[in-house]
């Protein structure tokens, strides 16, 4: 085969191409799809950027722990609890505190002796008063004996006064003696009454050395110590007025503080 024939054979081996118009359409469709994808990707990126940089509103609230019983509370307020029945217990007399039988927090009953003052002086006065009562009763017994004798003499002379054996002067003397005996008996009885009154006063003074609880309660504070002088209403600058303060825990009442 010569050279010319080889060229003609090579020319017949060409690959057929699609028409020019169809190829251009496919190219344009692919280009549009690429641009649409890019546009969608840019839109998504823009939305994400806007969301990331946009301000976020945060609501702040206060959280408080609440018990189940407080869930339906209508009013919540602060306050304190106080006893409606309380007292500062002091002595009725003045003296040095000799004994204190309670401590803070102890429970006491009405009438219980919680402290005692020195009382040797008033006990001596009580003993003296009782001795005077004994003397007054002895004097009364003596005057009653004299009255009995005077009454007998008076009665005997009264029946003899009309006779010459008994003079009028003797009868008058017997009458006066009888009257004095009656008066002596009355005086002795009054002396006994006065002595007994003095004894009762001394007994009250002795009892006043005992400091008793006025009602059932609990000791809140101890205001005086053994050895200190205690006086009613602290009449002395160096004296204690109240020995202890007590409160009835059964009379507790809540007081609200409204702001």
Lowest mean pLDDT: which of 12-26, 142-156, 192-206? 12-26
- Whether 58 shows a pLDDT value over 70: the answer reads no
- 166 or 205, which is more confident: 205
- Whether the pLDDT of residue 53 is over 60: the answer is no
pLDDT at 19 over 70: no
The mean pLDDT value of the chain amounts to 78
pLDDT of residue 21: 47
Closest CA to 158 of 170, 142, 144, 141: 170
pLDDT at 249: 81
138-173 per-position pLDDT tens digit: 999 999 999 999 989 888 888 887 666 778 888 888
CA distance 75 to 78: 10
Residues 6+ apart with CB under 8 A from 88: 223, 241, 242, 244, 245
Backbone φ, ψ for residue 178 (5° rounding): -65, -45
pLDDT at 159 (0 to 100)? 81
128: alpha, beta or left, given left = phi > 0 and alpha = psi -120 to 50? Answer: alpha
Q: Quote the pLDDT of residue 52.
A: 60
Confidence of residue 10 (pLDDT cuts 50, 70, 90): very low
Residue 190 has pLDDT above 90, yes or no: yes
In terms of pLDDT, which residue wins out, 236 or 198?
Answer: 198
Buried b (16+ CB within 10 A) or exposed e, 210-242: bbbbebbbbbbebbbeeeebbbeeeeeeebbbb
CATH architecture of the region 78-118+211-259:
Beta Barrel (2.40)
C-alpha R_g of the chain: 61
Rounded to 10 degrees, the C-alpha dihedral 19/21/24/25 comes to -110
Rounded Cα distance between 153 and 228, Å, is 65
């Amino acid at each position: 085969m010569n050279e010319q024939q080889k060229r003609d054979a090579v020319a017949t081996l060409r690959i057929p191409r699609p028409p020019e118009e169809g190829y251009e359409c496919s190219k344009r469709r692919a280009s549009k799809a690429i641009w649409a994808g890019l546009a969608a990707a840019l839109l998504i990126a823009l939305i994400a950027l806007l969301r990331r940089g946009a301000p976020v509103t945060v609501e702040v609230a206060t959280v408080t722990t609440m018990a189940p019983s407080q869930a339906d509370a209508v009013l919540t307020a602060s306050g304190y609890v106080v006893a409606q029945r309380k007292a500062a217990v002091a002595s009725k007399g003045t003296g040095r505190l000799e004994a204190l039988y309670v401590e803070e927090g102890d429970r006491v009953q009405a009438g219980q002796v919680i402290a005692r003052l020195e009382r040797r002086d008033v006990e001596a006065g009580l003993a003296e008063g009782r001795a005077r009562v004994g003397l007054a009763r002895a004097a009364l017994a003596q005057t009653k004996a004299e009255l009995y004798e005077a009454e007998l003499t008076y009665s005997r002379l009264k029946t003899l006064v009309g006779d010459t054996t008994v003079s009028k002067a003797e009868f008058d003397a017997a009458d006066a003696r009888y009257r004095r005996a009656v008066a002596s008996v009355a005086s002795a009885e009054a002396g006994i009454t006065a002595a007994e009154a003095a004894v009762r006063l001394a007994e009250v003074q002795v009892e006043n050395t005992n400091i008793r609880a006025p009602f059932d309660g609990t000791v809140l504070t101890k205001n005086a110590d053994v050895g200190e002088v205690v006086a009613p209403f602290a009449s002395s600058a160096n004296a204690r007025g109240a020995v202890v303060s007590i409160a009835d825990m059964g009379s507790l009442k809540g007081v609200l503080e409204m702001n």
